[in-house]
């Protein structure tokens, strides 16, 4: 599928599900191509399971190029794989927050395998959380809040959460390989992301 530049908010979006509502599973997206979206290139948001995003080519996303968001601490996003994708020049719509080629906002298991990132000055892989939306009636997990005294979250990381990063290629103006609020040091199975 090819999407004309700046004609869609997000190239592919799996919407967040409300608590106690069924999530999606067994989703595959292959060969999606776009040269510009208004927001994320691809966003998997909710408690979805068994998702594969593969062989996509996204340039000039208006936010993170490939993003995985969890919707709650008891029903986290799990087994999401971004494999052999290309990301170039993600940018922030307000220029006041960091965007990345690849992003994980909570969940249980997200794998970034053999992806290529070009010109992402903030960094390649981002780990972060945000303030909770009103429909989330849960207490933030303390597992990843060791370095902060008050840690309300919207991107929920479940106990034992991890990100697996293999064979990331970066080119051009690229910041740190992995960045966030310290979460990458707790989560990531990738030696390069553990550098001090």
Q: For residue 17, what pLDDT is reported?
A: 79
Q: For residue 136, what pLDDT is reported?
A: 37
116 beta partners: 86, 169
Distance CA 47, CA 21 (A): 9
Q: What is the CA radius of gyration of the chain?
A: 15
Total-model pTM = 0.82
| Each residue's pLDDT tens digit, 5-29 | 778 899 999 988 776 677 899 999 9
Supply the DSSP string of 147-176, one letter for each residue. T-S----SSPEEEEEEEEEE--EEESS---
Q: For residue 145, what pLDDT is reported?
A: 31
Averaged pLDDT score across all residues of the chain:
76
Element (H, E) at 187: helix 183-187
Residue 27 phi, psi dihedral angles, 5° rounding = -105, 135
Element (H, E) at 184: helix 183-187
| Each residue's pLDDT tens digit, 46-84 | 889 999 999 999 999 999 999 998 876 555 788 999 999
């Amino acid at each position: 599928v090819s999407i004309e530049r700046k004609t869609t908010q997000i190239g592919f979006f799996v919407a967040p599900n409300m608590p106690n509502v069924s999530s999606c599973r067994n989703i595959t997206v292959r060969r999606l191509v776009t040269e510009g979206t208004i927001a994320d290139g691809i966003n998997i948001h909710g408690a979805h399971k068994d998702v594969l995003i593969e062989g996509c080519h996204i340039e000039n996303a208006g936010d993170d190029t490939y993003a995985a968001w969890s919707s709650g601490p008891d029903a986290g996003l799990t087994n999401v794989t971004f494999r052999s994708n290309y990301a170039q020049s993600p940018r922030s719509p307000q220029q006041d927050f960091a965007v990345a080629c690849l992003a994980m906002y909570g969940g249980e298991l997200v794998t970034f395998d053999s992806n290529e990132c070009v010109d992402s000055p903030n960094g390649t892989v981002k780990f972060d959380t945000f303030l909770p939306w009103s429909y989330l009636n849960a207490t933030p997990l303390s597992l990843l809040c060791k370095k902060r005294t008050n840690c309300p979250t919207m991107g929920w990381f479940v106990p034992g959460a991890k990100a697996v990063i293999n064979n990331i290629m970066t080119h051009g103006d690229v910041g740190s390989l992995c960045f966030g609020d310290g979460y990458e040091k707790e989560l990531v199975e990738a030696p390069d992301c553990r550098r001090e």
